[in-house]
Amino acid sequence: MADTRPPPASDEAGEGQELRQTEHGVQVHEVATTTPEREFTVAARSQTQMIVRRFLAHKLAVGSLVVFLIVVVVSLIGGRFWKYSYADITDEFSTPPSWGHPMGTDDIGHDSMAQILRGAQKSVQVALLVAFLSTTLGAVIGALAGYYRGWIDSALMRFTDLVLTIPYIAILAVLAANVADKAGNWFFVGLVLSALLWTYIARVVRGQFLSLREKEFVEAARALGASDFRIMFRHLLPNATGSIIVNATVTVAVAILVETALSFLGLGIRPPDTSLGLLISQGQQAATTRPWLFWFPGIIIVIIALTVNFIGDGLRDAFDPTQTRVRA
């Protein structure tokens, strides 16, 4: 484990240590007898630090993260600062993009930029909600199945299979039409999506728990009298963090795409509110005559989903301790 980096600054080095040059010109720490002996001469990095460093080395992922954060922030609060509201009707119909309307207007006179900001806000809200809820639900179900095994595992996994058997766009269509009557709002759409998208993460977490539960540290924790709950959530879950975070990221992309598809079919978020999928379905009829109505919402969806997928890819590499190994 040769380290070519300069040694840590003296304030980082523990007390009682001093630096000196050896005859070979290599700097080493002289460990004073008062401090515990250390094998390596550099400050050890925590797992988190290593993961962050590996992630930062992934240029595409870092760039994507920046773009994604900008899009999220702008879509969540941008609508308040833009001069038009999504419901405003101006007296300019079907104008191409201009300074007054950077993304043009539709045939009724809505400012497209305001509508896209609103649509993106709804889509992003749904996606973040789904990522949070479905990951939590999936992780808990997967954890229970993997930890307890036996009939709990069988029951939970058969249930997962069951949810997977029906194309989820169909379940969503039926459910969304049902709840949309009452609310038609993003929160219900998000809840419905979460209720179906947890299956993948549950399978992943279960798989990890099945192998983790056999490790010695679990035995040690049990010997110390830790409860099942404590072992699951304090000892095992942190070890599965990597795949959970990666999957949560990818879920954001999936949720955005499913939500927009649902809205496109007219079964998700409905007028008078709007979402990116709805805007595309409205813009599609005019794709050749008023292309801006069709292009902008689509490009926003692609940007969100693409950056999320790149971030997920970067995270997957960052969490993978073997990723520096070169293929033979």
Token reading at 238: 């942190």
Q: b/e string for 190-209 if b means 16 or more Cβ within 10 A? A: bbbbbbbbbbbbbbbbbebb
Q: Is residue 154 at the binding interface for another protein, with CB under 8 A as the rule? A: no
From residue 65, alpha-carbon distances to 243, 245, 307 in Å are: 18, 14, 7
Candidates 83-91, 103-111, 231-239, 309-317: pick the segment binding another protein (CB under 8 A): 309-317
Q: Is residue 10 at the binding interface for another protein, with CB under 8 A as the rule? A: no
Closest CB to another protein among 76 and 169?
A: 169
Q: Per CB under 8 A, which of residues 174..203 are in contact with another protein?
A: 174-175, 177-178, 181
Candidates 83-91, 92-100, 218-226, 302-310: pick the segment binding another protein (CB under 8 A): 302-310
Distance (Å, rounded) from C-alpha 35 to C-alpha 158?
Answer: 55
Other CB atoms within 10 Å distance of the CB of residue 184: 17
Q: Is residue 94 at the binding interface for another protein, with CB under 8 A as the rule? A: no
247 contacts: CB under 8 Å, gap ≥ 6: 135, 138, 200, 201, 204
Burial class of residue 85, CB neighbours in 10 A (0-12, 13-18, 19+): middle
Q: Is residue 5 at the binding interface for another protein, with CB under 8 A as the rule? A: no
Among 70, 162, 183, 220, binds another protein (CB under 8 A): 162
8 Å CB contact between 251 and 135: yes
Q: Which residues pair with 29 in a beta bridge?
A: 19
Closest CB to another protein among 62 and 177?
A: 177
Among 52, 69, 77, 164, binds another protein (CB under 8 A): 164
Q: Is residue 305 at the binding interface for another protein, with CB under 8 A as the rule? A: yes
Q: Which residues bind another protein (CB under 8 A)?
A: 158, 161-162, 164-171, 173-175, 177-178, 181, 253, 257, 260-261, 264-267, 277, 280-281, 284, 287-288, 294, 298, 301-302, 304-306, 308-310, 313, 327-328
